[in-house]
Amino acid sequence: MSLKNYMEEVVVEIFQEVRGMHTDFCNCEKCNRDVIAYALSKLKGRYAASLEGEVMARVEQSDRQVRADALLAVMEALETVSKNPRH
């Protein structure tokens, strides 16, 4: 059995969209991973373990509130990692 957190896909997608707007952000792999990990830690996971669960999780990915919450978490993560890079 495999589990998948579909919120990770949402966070990665949003991060890729907004990171280009932050020209002062270090774009190294470690900082990128830190932003994604930080944002995911602030959000409720959307896990699926079955085909039905996967369908429901994918539907939730397009929900406006889910995407708005993810955007806020990514923006906060970008700010936090920019101020305290670990590379």
Q: What burial letters (b/e) apply to 3-41, b meaning 16+ CB within 10 Å?
A: eebbbbebbbebbeeebeeeeebeeeeebbebbbebbbe
pLDDT in tens, 44-63: 888 877 777 666 666 666 67
Q: What's the whole-model pTM score?
A: 0.84
What's the total number of domains in the chain? 1
pLDDT of the residue at 24: 84
The CATH number of the domain where 77 resides is what? 1.10.1740
Q: Tell me which DSSP letter residue 24 carries.
A: T
Q: Which pLDDT tens digit goes with each residue over 6-31?
A: 899 999 999 999 988 888 888 899 99
The boundaries of the domain holding residue 43 are 4-83
Per-residue confidence (pLDDT) for residue 62, from 0 to 100: 67
